[in-house]
Amino acid sequence: LVWNTNIKWSLPAVCFVWQLSMIILFGVFVRYNEESDTHWVDYRKENNITSDIENDYYFRYPSFQDVHVMIFVGFGFLMTFLKRYSFGAVGFNFLVAAFGIQWALLMQGWFHSLDYTDGKIKIGIENLINADFCVAGCLIAYGAVLGKVSPVQLLVMTLFGVTLFAVEEYIILNVLHAKDAGGSMVIHTFGAYYGLSISWVLYRPNLDKSKHLNGSVYHSDVFAMIGTLFLWMFWPSFNSAIADHGDGQHRAAINTYLALASTVLTTVAMSSLFEKTGKLDMVHIQNSTLAGGVAVGTAAEFMLSPYGSLIVGFFCGIISTLGYIYFSPFLEEKLKIQDTCGIHNLHAMPGVIGGIVGAISAAAATNTVYGDLGLENTFDFTGPFAKRVPTIQGGYQAAGLCVALCFGIGGGIFVGLVLKLPIWGDPADENCFDDEIYWECSSHPGLQQPHDPQQTCRHVSTGIKH
């Protein structure tokens, strides 16, 4: 047998058992919070809340749906650029995210939303957003191994990824009390190094056996632009979704909007400058244009100021595009990290930059710029952290970045070793990047002619193997 990809039993078993576990755990642990429970009507009266419009739902639902689109359409379609892996890109992205959000509600719930009076996790709209965020980390990691792993491996990656995420997030946000509204550290740095480490452990020396499929065709590049654009457009919602009500969300959206705009111009400039004939490369346009959104994540709700955001975007467009041109080949040849989507350029480097920008801008915060109340509100210098000052906060921000890196790399190596076990049905080297391995293709005999462009994946694939 050429490949050991028969997932007939393992995939259904994992899906059923894990979904049943979710039901049991939700039954034991998860309830509505006071804003999504029918007791809201009583809660409102008791707390003198004048209108239903002050339910957190109305502050966050529009951003939530934008984030939701980023997770399912954004990440899913961004990965459809491969000529014969669009089903796997969008389909496995769908599967992984649907499982991940459930597990994330539990894991994050235990750490952040546990009601100690009754031992229940109380969920509302903010939990849904955070679950989507948590899954984003795993989908970033998927980008590194796209086309080289089985759906069962992806589910395992997600199970561990969400778990690791919830712990590092707790350490960074709660223990260190670092701020990370858009998740440059918690989501992007962690997710990217998690995926790169897994890819390093799963290195395939003979991957060039399927290199004829490791590229795009005209229409697959257009499909990928759907992903790019929805990510790009909705990134202001991503970075502002869980920011503070009022000016916090408002400012995070503005900063992200500006950083992303700036990135587009420097990405185009670099793409043209470094190609022999001055032509643009779709890979850069699809990916590097997003780097500014990643890098402005941590500082999005800070008083980064509009030109500060533009500067962050400016450099990230340059660095990310250079990454695709010079660093990705280096990673593959020297460090033996095969990174299908180039997440090192889109998430890892910009994520680290974002963490650093966050640390610097936190350390530089002053009462003059923020106002006394504004400073306290923005950094939550209250309760046990009432005495913290901006310079100290900067140090904790930097510590948070280190935690994200350690969890990403350490967790990735561990999970990579687990995924190296020969039981997961991953494709052989010559079957990578090929939908035919995991997808039944609905071909009809009437159209099966040689060179027929409209034929289904089964036959194109067969054709290639001749």
Contacting a copy of itself within 219-278 (CB under 8 A): 219, 221-223, 225-226, 229-230, 232-234, 236-237, 245-247, 249-251, 253-254, 257-258, 260-262, 264-266, 268-270, 272-273, 275, 277-278
Residue with Cβ nearer a copy of itself (261 or 418): 261
- DSSP-based three-state secondary structure for 32: strand
Residue 353 Cβ vs a copy of itself, minimum distance, rounded to whole Å = 16
- Partners of 115 in the beta sheet? 120
Instruction: Give the Cα separation of 76 and 433 in Å (integer).
Output: 15
144 token code pair = 């590194």
Distance CA 37, CA 47 (A): 15
**Chain position carrying tokens 């858009």:** 182
Instruction: Name residues contacting a copy of itself, limited to 340-359 (CB under 8 A).
Output: none
> Nearer Cβ to a copy of itself, position 75 or 190?
75
Q: Shortest distance, CB of residue 359 to a copy of itself, whole angstroms? A: 19
Report whether 153 contacts 426 (CB < 8 A): yes
Task: Return the residues of window 278-337 that contact a copy of itself according to CB under 8 A.
Answer: 278-283, 285, 289, 303, 305-307, 310-311, 314
Candidate segments 67-75, 181-189, 329-337, 411-419, binder of a copy of itself by CB under 8 A: 67-75
The answer to whether residues 298 and 181 touch, using CB atoms and an 8 Å cutoff, is yes
The residue range among 162-170, 197-205, 355-363, 448-456 that interacts with a copy of itself, by the rule CB under 8 A, is 448-456
Decide whether 24 or 421 has the Cβ nearer to a copy of itself: 24
Residues 6 or more apart in contact with residue 205 via CB below 8 angstroms? none
Contact between 431 and a copy of itself by CB under 8 A: the answer reads no
**243 phi and psi angles, rounded to 5 deg:** -70, 170
Nearer of residues 22 and 413 to a copy of itself, judged by Cβ: 22
Tell me if 27 contacts a copy of itself by CB under 8 A: yes
Of 395, 176, 143, which Cα lies nearest the Cα of 168?
Answer: 176
Q: Give the whole-angstrom CA distance, residue 32 versus residue 39.
A: 10
Sheet order of strands, 114-115 included: 30-32, 120-123, 114-115
Contact 201, 419 (CB under 8 A): yes
* Alpha-carbon span 43 to 68, nearest angstrom: 29
The reply on whether position 102 binds a copy of itself by CB under 8 A is yes
Q: Is 426 in the site for a copy of itself (CB under 8 A)?
A: no
Q: How far is the CB of 126 from a copy of itself (least distance, A)?
A: 11
* Among 6, 206, 391, 462, interactor with a copy of itself by CB under 8 A: 6
The number of angstroms, rounded, from the C-alpha of 371 to the middle of its chain's C-alpha atoms is 34
Counting contacts by CB under 8 A, is residue 445 touching a copy of itself? Answer: yes
- Does 48 engage in binding with a copy of itself (CB under 8 A)? no
In degrees to the nearest 10, what's the CA dihedral of 337, 340, 342, 347? Answer: -90
Quick one: tokens of 427? 């494709």
Segment lying near a copy of itself (by CB under 8 A), choices 58-66, 181-189, 197-205, 347-355:
58-66
Window 151 to 210, contacts with a copy of itself (CB under 8 A): 151
Q: Which is nearer to a copy of itself, 38 or 117 (CB)?
A: 38
Choose between 342 and 408: whose C-beta lies nearer to a copy of itself.
Answer: 342
Task: Map residue 114 onto helix, strand or coil.
Answer: strand
Q: Is 238 helix (H, G, I), strand (E, B) or coil?
A: helix
Q: Which of 101, 36, 41, 91 is nearest to 68 (CA)?
A: 101
SS (H, E, C) 121-156: EEECHHHHHHHHHHHHHHHHHHHHHCCCCCHHHHHH
How distant, in Å, are the alpha carbons of 18, 29, 119, 326, 451 from that of 105?
A: 14, 10, 15, 39, 48
* Residue 366 binding a copy of itself, by CB under 8 A: no
Rounded least distance, CB 462 to a copy of itself, Å: 13
Of these, 40, 110, 381, 414, which contacts a copy of itself (CB under 8 A)?
Answer: 40
Smallest distance from the beta carbon of 238 to a copy of itself, in angstroms?
Answer: 11
Q: Name the segment binding a copy of itself (CB under 8 A); options: 161-169, 179-187, 411-419, 438-446.
A: 438-446
Task: Report whether 436 contacts 5 (CB < 8 A).
Answer: no
Site string for a copy of itself, 379-418 (x = CB under 8 A): ----------------------------------------
Residue among 450, 452, 356, 464 nearest 401 (CA): 356
Measured from the CB atom, the residue of 166 and 310 that comes closer to a copy of itself is 310
- To the nearest whole angstrom, how small is the minimum distance from the Cβ of residue 326 to a copy of itself? 16
Which residue, 328 or 378, is less far from a copy of itself as judged by CB?
Answer: 378
Residue 42 or 175: the one with the smaller Cβ distance to a copy of itself is 42
What character string, x for contact with a copy of itself (CB under 8 A) and - otherwise, covers 112-141? -----------xxx--x-------------
432 binds a copy of itself (CB under 8 A): no
Is 423 near a copy of itself (CB under 8 A)? no
What does the alpha-carbon distance between residue 147 and residue 436 come to, in Å, rounded to a whole number? Answer: 11
